[in-house]
Every structure is written in C-alpha cells, then in structure tokens.
Chain A
C-alpha cells in the first residue's frame, strides 16, 4: 500500500555565501509538502553537491545563491551531473540574480529559477509538476 515513491530533494548552498535562511525555509517548506529533504549545509563545492546528490539518490537539487557566483556554480553542477551520467536529476535555483542572467542559466540546464517574493506554495507546485520520482 505504500509503494508510492517519495520525492527526495537535496537543498545545497554552493560557494562561499553564508546566508542560509532562504535555503532553510525552502527545506522546511519541502518537508511540509511531504518530500524527503537532504540538507547538506553551507560552503559546498559543485563537486560535493553532485556527489551528495548521487549518494542520496535525489530527484532534484535545489541550489541557493545570494552572493553572485551563480553563473559559475549552477552550470558547473549541471555539467558534473552530465559527466557522472546523472543528468536525470533536475536542478533548480533560488536566490538573487540579475534579470539578464536568468535566461542564460536556463540555457545552461537549470530548469527553473526562483527569485525573492515567490510564494512558497508556487515553489512546491512547481516541484510536484516538474519532478517525477524515479520510476
């Protein structure tokens, strides 16, 4: 009766930015939506994020960035997932980004970008519609 797969998400903060309030709120929101959230903490390299995602077999990685290094860090995560043959893992990002970076990030394989002011239910709805637990 409980053969329904649970969505597993990794919430990570790559880079040197130490502001994790947003990531924590997102982690909590996902938990309340019934997802299993692996929280890996601050100051992660893209390599560490990808390794954690693979070991934890998550369906999605949520990256948080507020310090401006997203144009390197986010695409690098997507690239490493590809290298490891794990590009079925969906990557999305949240934080503060210049308007013109968003299309570039999406082109680099970040599936969605959430900016400040996004209502939390919307973030959950997006995951439910776009992330399918591995079949």
Chain B
C-alpha cells in the first residue's frame, strides 16, 4: 500500500510520518499531498486563536470531549513558537489534551512555527489536508499567540474563534484592526474573573461599530466560558454549528468563501515555492553571499541586488 492509501485508511503512523516529512520539506511528501488532494475538502475546520495564556488549549480539550460525545472524529493541530535563537521549540499544548491520547477517534499533533519564510502556514495548511484525507470530521487548528501570520492560518478555517480574557482592555484595542475582521465567534474565557462583563461590552461595541460586516448576515456572537470547568463549551459548539449552517445555507456565499480559500492557498503556495527555489539556488551558487558582501560594503543597494537576482531568474525561466 502506498503512503497516500495508508493515510486515507487512517493509518496513524503513516499520517504522523507524512506530517513530519511536510514539516521537514521532504520533496516526496509533496507528491503524496497531490495524491491526497481528491480526498480532501470534507472536514470542517475550526481555527482557534488568541493571545498566549488565554486558555486556547484547554478550550480545545473540552471541545474535543463534546465532539467525541456527539460521535464525531477530531484532528487537532496545535502550533507553538520556534525559538529564534536555537531553532528548537517546546510544544506544550498536548499537556492539556492528554486525556484524549488513547482515543482512536482523536489525532493530536503539535507543530512548531519554524520561523523562516512563512513555512508555518504552508505546512499547517498541508497538515490540515492530511487530517482531512484521513477522514477526521472536525479539524481544530490552535494557533500561537495572535499576529499577522496567525490570521493567515485562520483563512484556512471555516469558523474562526477569537479567544480573549477579561481585563485585556488596551490589548483588545490594539488587536482590533486585524482580529475583529476575522473572528466569526468571540469567546471570553476565564469569565469568572473580574471585568468579564466589561470585556464583553468592549467587544460588542467594536463589533457594532463595524456595521459593514453584517451586510452578509452573520453577526459574530460573544460568549463567556470557563474552559477549566467545562462552562459555556456546549454553547460555543452550538454557535459553531450555527455558523456552519449559515455558511453552507447559501451556495453563492459558500462558493465565494471557497474561492477565497483556494486563492489564498495557491498564492501562498507559489510564494513558498518561488522563495525556496530562488533562495536555494542563489545560496548554492554563492550569488547570495556575493550580494550580501556588496551590500555590506555599500557598493550596491539591496533593492537593486534583489531586482538583479529575481529578474535574472525570471528571464532564464522564460527561455
């Protein structure tokens, strides 16, 4: 049996190894992904994002429990940061989800951002496809703390949940440009803490001010949860289902969202591939170092160096 068939049949080891190969950028993995593609597009993908420490992993853990009770199979991708200094990482999201590790209907994988060249989004996206092809009904992607890149991943999700905690006040203000635009559901976790009401009101106010968003009819609900005590999780899943029904109720809307996702996937993929191939090439040929040295001596500016490298490559490809 080939690797793709093994993945489709749900072979855990094959799935685990394929995700590793994707992360390690092994060329063969790409071929397997091509074979898997026809088996993707069936899972419902939920993205969970929010600042570090707001309780994303614990929420995911509770969601898994509820989804399993409802008879659904679940894949979890939990992303943690790579150290910019050593390139190593501590992937600790599993600690909160360990009670599901013996459940055959759950596959949990920790991934590191591996900081360079946007590789994170690319391998996470591919890992979603793998878990989709293995037949998981739901895939939950838990991102690292919020930022531009994390919003990118969230574009791969059908429903995006933004998790906040009481007392974030100014932080919320700072985040609103990016985050409020991608959130389908807002969750105020640790809602037993002081200031939960205020945080709910802050978010509500910001959403209300952004009227354009509801022209298509979905107004993001704001929920309060206490993930540790399993409070509010059921309601959160109900909202996910409502959002799912909303998205799928209108074929045009569904098709538009699908188009946006495919567009985003392909452009990211092209960027990733072009960057890697060009960089590989110029690093090996020594051209990269040469250009760096010239810039260091200020004999050339980086803009010209970049244009020279890229234009030369594009021209030689046209021949």
**A residues adjacent to B (C-beta < 8 A):** 1-6, 8, 27-28, 30-41, 44-45, 47-48, 51-52, 54-57, 84-86, 133-134
Which of A37, A55, A133 is the one whose CB lies under 8 Å from B108? A55
The smallest beta-carbon distance between B23 and chain A, in angstroms, is 8
Determine the interface band of chain B, counting residues with CB < 8 A from chain A. 35 or more
* The residue from A28, A32, A36, A57 contacting B16, defined by CB atoms under 8 A apart: A57
Supply 19 further A-B pairs (C-beta < 8 A) apart from A3-B26, A32-B88: A1-B276, A2-B116, A2-B119, A4-B24, A28-B90, A33-B86, A34-B87, A34-B88, A37-B91, A39-B94, A39-B95, A40-B94, A40-B98, A48-B101, A48-B102, A54-B12, A55-B101, A55-B109, A56-B110
What are 30 A-to-B residue pairs whose CB atoms are below 8 Å? A1-B276, A1-B283, A1-B284, A2-B119, A27-B90, A28-B90, A33-B86, A34-B88, A36-B88, A37-B91, A38-B94, A39-B91, A39-B94, A40-B101, A41-B94, A47-B102, A48-B101, A48-B102, A51-B102, A52-B98, A54-B16, A55-B16, A55-B101, A55-B109, A56-B94, A56-B109, A57-B17, A84-B13, A133-B24, A134-B17
Among A2, A8, A28, A41, the one with the most B-chain Cβ atoms within 10 Å of its Cβ is A2
B89 within 8 A of A: yes
Query: Total A-B residue pairs with C-beta atoms closer than 8 Å?
Result: 97
Q: Tell me, rounded to whole Å, the shortest Cβ–Cβ distance linking A27 to chain B.
A: 5
The answer to whether B20 touches A57, judged by C-beta atoms less than 8 angstroms apart, is yes
Closest residue on chain B to residue A53 by CB atoms? B16
**A residues in contact with B109, CB < 8 Å:** 55-56
Q: Which residues of B contact A (CB under 8 A)?
A: 12-13, 16-17, 19-20, 23-26, 82-83, 85-92, 94-95, 98, 101-102, 107-110, 112, 114, 116, 119, 276, 279-280, 283-284
